[in-house]
Amino acid sequence: MVAPDTARKVFLQHLAPGSRDALNPCLNLGRELSSLWELARSSWPGVHLEPEEFLEHLARRLPPSADALPTWGRARAADLYLACACARGSSSAMAAVRETHDAHLLADLARRGVPGSLAEDVLQKTYQNLFVGLGEGPPKIVQYSGRGPLRAWLAVVAHRQALNLIARQREETGMDLELLEQLAPLNDPELAHLKSHYRAELKRAFAEALAVLSAQERNLLCYRGIDGLTCDEIANLYGVHQTTVSRWLSKICAKLYSHTRRALTDKLHVGLPEFESILRLVESQLDLSMHRLLSTEAPTHEDTGRGEG
């Protein structure tokens, strides 16, 4: 239980000046805030958040009409508590969002005509955006203001992600080439010569190898190879331990290398020296570069075993 006087002080400290002036005279403000804290905390007993963190989060998202606090706060306290914990990096809060909203979001995407296989991709990208963020920006979950239910807001975010992913898939060949060049930079003069002569063949072989991967494997590869997420960050998205992610990525590297090499072997008709050079390209650039990019520091904890495929 947070003391009413403490709750009042913390909350007023983070309010916009106009709202602070309007709420400061309210005699019951401290008791109301203490009640909201208890309501929010009891809604998510497995998610830890300090009362000061929640009250600051609440204050910064109070609607312009300060007298809306009681009605708005009681309706959104649990959602704002969970969103605040996610924004602060709580893995238990992220897991709670997934457990509570996965089925609803998948059903909503299905109603909007998004195929099941693509919907899974959309959901993973949505959670990456929500919990990790894109580039240097903060996680998108900080934008949830509590003006509506968290469930409805998440559905809007997922739908926008679906539109973005569909647009991206229309440029699938370009994306495959981008991934290839991210994973296998060709800086050696000999390899640059091979690139100029066998670019199309290598591109096709790599695209065929990517097609063999499952949707989850492609997502993992893009998260690590292009988006630059750490194994810890990917593990948070999937609710597993980082050592599980590390094993997943190692298996993907082996599968991608194997299929790329087989495709080149089947399609190219060149002399032995040139053919061996191309194989060196695949082995030394594709395979080893992928392992460098996709590897993580040596794990220090035992794997939980959750969600391993």
Question: What are 210-235's pLDDT values in tens digits?
Answer: 778 887 787 777 777 666 677 887 77
| Claim to verify: residue 38 and residue 118 sit in the same structural domain | no
Among 203, 300, 223, 209, CA closest to 253? 209
- Residue where a domain stops, chosen among 125, 143, 169: 169
Whether the predicted pLDDT of 259 surpasses 50: yes
Q: Is the dihedral of CA 168, 169, 171, 177 positive or negative?
A: positive
- Contact predicate 91/131, CB 8 Å: no
Whether the predicted pLDDT of 185 surpasses 60: no
- Give Cα separations from 209 to 83, 202, 217, 224, 285 (angstroms): 39, 10, 12, 17, 16
Q: What is the pLDDT of residue 301?
A: 32
| Claim to verify: residue 146 and residue 183 sit in the same structural domain | no
Q: pLDDT-based confidence at 282, cuts 50/70/90?
A: low
| Claim to verify: residue 149 and residue 102 sit in the same structural domain | yes
Whether the predicted pLDDT of 269 surpasses 70: no
| Claim to verify: residue 178 and residue 278 sit in the same structural domain | yes
- Residue 154 falls within a domain, yes or no? yes
pTM for the model stands at 0.57
Whether the predicted pLDDT of 181 surpasses 70: no
Number of domains in the chain: 3
| Claim to verify: residue 15 and residue 81 sit in the same structural domain | yes
Q: Which residue has the tokens 């296998």?
A: 184
Mean pLDDT of the chain: 75
Give percent above pLDDT 90 in the chain: 22
Q: What is the pLDDT of residues 6-17, one digit of tens each?
A: 888 888 888 777
- Residue where a domain stops, chosen among 60, 87, 114: 87
Token duo for residue 41: 């905390």
- Residue 61 falls within a domain, yes or no? yes
- Residue 303 falls within a domain, yes or no? no
- Residue where a domain stops, chosen among 40, 69, 87: 87
Range of the domain at 150: 96-169
| Claim to verify: residue 272 and residue 183 sit in the same structural domain | yes
- Residue 131 falls within a domain, yes or no? yes
155: CATH: 1.10.1740
